[in-house]
Chains A and B, each alone.
Chain A
Amino acid sequence: MLDSIVFLLAGTLAAATPLLFAAMGEAVVEKAGVLNLSIEGMMAVGAATGFAVATISGSYVSGFAMAAIGSAILSSIFAVLVLFFLANQVAAGLAVGILGLGFSVLIGKNHEGQTIKSLPDLELGWLSELPFVGGVLFSHDLMLYVAIGMIILVWWVLSHSRLGLIIRAVGESPDAASAIGYPVVLIRFLAILFGGAMAGLGGAYLTLSYTPLWAEGLVAGRGWIVVALVVFGMWRPLRIALGAYLFGAVSLLELFIQGQGFSIPSQLLSAMPYIITIVILVIMSRNPRLIRLNHPASLGQSWHRNA
């Protein structure tokens, strides 16, 4: 029994990690006032690129790095569309997302169905030997801890740093920010690139660690869950992280229940993490005051400098 619990909790951390990367990126993008709906596509590009590069070069570092760069390049297409051509953010995000899904198939063409050795766990010595805690917390690969680090970093930057203040200002009122003299378009561009790179890391974590193989459609809607997490987490990194771990936990529970052989239709079970996560987040975010305080007021609106 204890073993199952350790398995469940450790698995939860791993299952949440791809979402965490992408969601922390998207939180920054949306706080800057841009709604990027192409996460699913960006994660797919990151997943395929990371897998292909790691397989060919044999280096996980290059795999993750190229995944981040690849998705950032894809997100720059989105950035140019919405920031310079003032395209509708929803439409551009959907289009670039579909483009990304297509690219991922192309990039992964020679690797369809292949597997790779999973990113090795860190050697944490006696920490990993600890009963229970060692199994849950200290028997993971490096990127899982990086993701946790990103939560803290994004939370700190957004709520405690000057950079975060500027990002929030740009997202709330680009007109006012520009009137004081901040380069709104540049700040949004960099935020979108950051969001792209983070989605790429999330995707690469899927193919290099979580399910170490490449297959088309492997992201399986996680990009959309990220969009929901960010909104229902009310753009607050810690709440978003909570949502991601919740999703991870329910996904694991689903496997566990299937393993126990309950006679619940497997389709319904596969849908459970999505349903439960969204229901709980919606209930959690029913506070209009919090929404009003955290919602980036210019989210989704095109902006250009008035002459």
Chain B
Amino acid sequence: MSALLRLRGITKVYPAVVASDRIDLDIEPGEIHAILGENGAGKSTLMKLIYGVSQPDEGTIQWQGKTVHIRSPAQARQLGIGMVFQHFSLFESLTVAQNISLAVKGSIKQLSAQVEETGEKFGLPIKADTVVHSLSVGERQRVEIIRCILQNPKLLIMDEPTSVLPPQGVQQLFETLRKLRAEGCSILYISHKLEEIRQLCDTATILRAGKVVASTDPAEHSNESLANLMIGRTIDPPVHAPANTGTSNRLRVKSLSHVPTDPFGTVLKDISLHVSPGEIVGIAGVSGNGQNELMRLISGEELHTIDDAGELRINDTCVNRLNPLQRRTLGLGFVPEERLGRGAVPELSLSLNGLLTAYRHGLTRLGMIRFGAARDFARQCIAEHDVRCGGEQSLAGSLSGGNLQKFIVGREIALQPSLLVLSQPTWGLDVGAANNIRRALLQLRDSGAAVLVVSEELEELFEISDRLHVMFDGHLSPSLPTRGTSTTQIGRWMSGEFLQEAATGAENH
């Protein structure tokens, strides 16, 4: 039986890099095929070529034995190729059924029934008449998957699908994908999470620097050997020595309650936490449970209002009414989740982006910019954190997400903050880059800074943090020392169990 999709000698050259270098790939009907690689290894380029977003410079694509030229996503869909993007293409103000009706033929009424029926069958429960903006990220992903399924694809491309899911959600998704496979649909699964690939996939093709370095059965490998293939060198996770914690509090949040200005934001309820010098505190939880609102309050992008209860203190100063700049002067460093637009200005060069937060550190004189010093500062961040880019004058928007993140984190660390707050610091980064950032954070901690990390990646939190909180529906759990706590415990808390424990605990008293 011939392959469903066969790539031969696919090459795509961009001005600066060869993104795909003579790639051969065979996808059999009814298999789950992983594409594994670091950031910039050419995974997304390859997906774009298959989905018709861009066209290869050389090489042939065969679909069910016939050579095809896929010129647009519409054509790819006609052939039977569906794709679930990392960034969803849903319309927030429309309902689930309306969203789907824009892509699939049929009346809203028929589709609503179909959506719920398909959802039932594949373990993707969703109500067809909900407006999309009120759905969680995981539910939005379900909508995207259902939309693809309703178009009867023979091949479904999933781009980093688990980056937005809680641990339980991941297993649920795997069930769905296995059911799809049983129906004869092939799945191309892009990820850099080795454990998931070993659990789920039948075959793995490993890319490094645009080339296929191996095609293998992932179940026969260990995580380490897969990582070696992917990176071409061994990586050691950073050494995580016990924290040497000071007694003072760099950040103290006291019974904070807050109603965000965004009407669809999460209301924060009675949140208390503190971070001392020399420790990393992690906040776990599925995104959308109030982490963003808490981060905005800590960074000062949203101010604590008169109606809100509680208090925020940085270095023993009440900052409730202070703006972000005043908070930074108190020693706060902040790395937001969105790299483009909040962490960095895409249209400005790296050296100017460095200036944005570092200007108080000798980069200006009498209100004039010292361009030489700004360039040196940026060059230093680039060198210290292995930022791959065309030099300090390249635009922030031209860097890949991982490299830009290294630059932003590097910039904030270079300012020697006494309190560094990060949101999803290694989101979408490959193992190597993520390791570098984690190591840098541990170094910062050991030099006596207090670090607060919000992340959805449990493994990461366990790797670097000393204490862990869990956020659920605007509540923050008490903290647990990371050593001696299991991922299962945190996983249970992530679905709100700590609230019941607190309730029963109170009753017993």
Contact with A along B44-70 (1 / 0, CB 8 A): 000000000010000000000000000
Q: Is the CB of B73 within 8 A of A179?
A: yes
The reply to whether B91 and A292 contact each other, CB–CB distance below 8 Å, is: no
Q: Pick the contact of B89: A162, A180, A297 (CB < 8 A).
A: A180
Give chain A's interface residue range (CB within 8 Å of chain B).
Answer: 20 to 34
Among B98-106, B304-312, B452-460, the one that faces the other chain is B98-106
Q: A289-B263, A292-B263, A292-B264 are in contact. Are A177 and B93 (CB under 8 A)?
A: no
* Cβ-based interface call for B3 (8 A): no
From known contacts A179-B73, A288-B261, A307-B54, infer whether A166 and B93 are also in contact, taking CB-CB under 8 Å. no
**A43-51, A132-140, A168-176: which lies at the interface:** A168-176
> Knowing A177-B102, A181-B73 touch, does A169 contact B263 (C-beta < 8 A)?
no
Q: Which residues of A contact B263 (CB under 8 A)?
A: 288-289, 292
Tell me whether A168 and B94 are in contact (CB under 8 A). Answer: yes
B 243-270 to A, binary, CB cutoff 8 A, 1 in contact else 0: 0000000000000000001111000000
Q: In the complex, how many angstroms separate the beta carbon of A109 from the nearest chain B beta carbon? A: 46
Is A285's CB within 8 Å of the partner chain B? no
Contact of B102 among A165, A292, A293, A294 (CB under 8 A): A165
Query: CA of A249 to CA of B366 in the docked complex: distance in angstroms?
Result: 58
> Within A281-307, which residues are at the interface with B (CB < 8 Å)?
288-289, 292-294, 297, 307
Bound Cα distance A168, B103 (Å): 14
Q: How far is the CA of A181 from the CA of B74 in the complex (A)?
A: 6
In the complex, A292 Cα to B90 Cα: how many Å?
16
Q: Is B92 an interface residue (CB 8 A)?
A: yes
A175–B89 alpha-carbon span in the complex (Å): 8
Once bound together, how far apart are the Cα atoms of A102 and B261, in whole Å? 44
Map CB proximity to A onto B148-180 as digits: 1 under 8 Å, 0 otherwise: 000000000000000000000000000000000
A49 to B89, CA, bound (A): 44
User: Which residue from A165, A182, A288, A289 sits with its C-beta under 8 Å from B94?
Assistant: A165
> What's the Cα separation between A19 and B198 when bound, in Å?
64
- Complexed CA–CA distance, A182 and B93 (Å): 18
Complex formed: what's the CA distance from A182 to B89 in Å?
A: 13
A176 to B73, Cβ gap below 8 A? no
Chain B residues near A181 (CB-CB < 8 A):
72-74, 77, 103
- Inter-chain contacts of B91 with A (CB < 8 A): 168-169, 172-173, 176-177
Q: Which chain B residues in 75-91 approach chain A with CB under 8 Å?
A: 77, 85, 88-91
Kindly provide the distance from the CB of B308 to the nearest chain A CB, expressed in whole angstroms. 17
Q: Please, how many angstroms separate the alpha-carbon atoms of A292 and B261 in the complex?
A: 12
What are the residues of chain A within 8 A of B73 when measuring CB–CB?
179, 181
Judging by beta carbons under 8 Å apart, are B93 and A168 in contact? yes
Q: A176-B91, A294-B93, A307-B54 are in contact. Are A169 and B261 (CB under 8 A)?
A: no
Tell me the minimal C-beta distance from A196 to chain B in angstroms: 26
CA distance A165 to B95 in the complex (A): 11
Establish whether residues B102 and A169, one from each chain, have CB atoms under 8 Å apart when the complex forms: yes
In the assembled complex, how far is the CB of residue B340 from the closest CB belonging to chain A, in whole angstroms?
A: 14
Give residues 288-341 of B contacting A (CB, 8 Å): none
Listed residue (A166, A173, A288, A297) with the most chain B CB atoms within 10 angstroms of its CB? A173
Q: Is the CB of A162 within 8 A of B101?
A: yes
Total residue contacts A-B, CB cutoff 8 A:
56
CA distance A307 to B263 in the complex (A): 35
Q: Evaluate contact between B98 and A165: CB separation under 8 angstroms.
A: yes
Q: In the complex, A297 Cα to B261 Cα: how many Å?
A: 18
CB distance from B10 to the nearest CB of A (A): 17
Pick from B73, B131, B261 the residue with the most CB of A within 10 Å.
B73
Interface centre among A173, A175, A177, A180 (most CB of B within 10 A): A180
B94→A179 contact, CB < 8 A: no
In the bound complex, residues from chain B placing their C-beta under 8 Å from that of A307 are 54
Query: Known contacts A165-B102, A307-B54: does B92 contact A297 (CB below 8 Å)?
Result: yes
**Minimum Cβ distance to chain B for residue A74 (Å):** 31
The docked-state distance in angstroms from the alpha carbon of A293 to that of B131 is: 10
Hey, which chain A residues are within 8 Å of B90, CB to CB? Answer: 173, 176
A173 touching B261 by the CB < 8 A rule?
A: no
- Decide: A180 near B94, CB < 8 A? Known: A175-B89, A292-B263, A292-B264: no
Chain B residue contacts of A288, Cβ below 8 A: 261-263
CB of B253, distance to nearest CB on chain A (Å): 26
| C-alpha gap A288/B264 in the complex (Å) | 10
CA distance A168 to B129 in the complex (A): 17
Query: CA A297 – CA B264 in complex, angstroms?
Result: 15
**Chain A residue with Cβ nearest B90:** A176
Interface residues of A in 169-219 (CB under 8 A from B): 169, 172-173, 175-177, 179-182
Instruction: Write out the residue numbers on chain A whose beta carbons fall within 8 Å of the beta carbon of B93.
Output: 168, 172, 292-294, 297
B89 touches A179 (CB 8 A): yes
Q: Which residues of B contact A172 (CB under 8 A)?
A: 91-94
Report the bound CA distance from A175 to B54 in whole Å.
15
In the complex formed, the residue of A with least CB distance to B98 is A165
* Given A288-B263, A292-B264; A166-B92 close (CB under 8 Å): no
Measured CA separation A70–B102 after assembly (Å): 34
Contacts of A168 in B (CB 8 A): 91, 93-94
How many angstroms between the C-alpha atoms of A168 and B93 in the bound complex?
9
If A181-B73, A288-B261, A307-B54 touch, does A165 touch B101 (CB 8 Å cutoff)? yes
Q: A4 to B263, alpha carbons, bound, how many Å? A: 46
**In the complex, what's the smallest C-beta–C-beta distance from A75 to chain B, in angstroms?**
26
Give A301 Cβ to nearest chain B Cβ, in Å.
13
Measured in the bound complex, the distance between the Cα atoms of B72 and A181 in whole Å is 9
Minimum C-beta distance from A187 to chain B (A):
12
Task: Find chain A residues with CB under 8 A from B264 CB.
Answer: 289, 292
Question: Which B residues are in CB contact (< 8 Å) with A165?
Answer: 94, 98, 101-102
Contact of A180 among B102, B133, B261, B262 (CB under 8 A): B102
Task: Answer whether A169 and B89 are a contact pair too, CB < 8 Å, given A180-B103, A289-B263, A292-B263.
Answer: no
| Interchain nearest-CB distance for A171 vs B (Å) | 9
Besides the known contacts A173-B90, A297-B92, A297-B93, 7 further A-B residue pairs in the complex with CB atoms under 8 A apart = A168-B94, A172-B92, A173-B91, A180-B89, A289-B264, A292-B264, A294-B93
A-B contact pairs, 14 of them (CB 8 A): A162-B101, A168-B93, A168-B94, A175-B89, A176-B89, A176-B90, A176-B91, A179-B73, A179-B89, A180-B103, A181-B73, A289-B264, A292-B264, A307-B54
Q: Which 7 A-B pairs have the closest CB atoms?
A: A176-B89, A181-B74, A289-B263, A179-B89, A180-B103, A172-B91, A288-B263
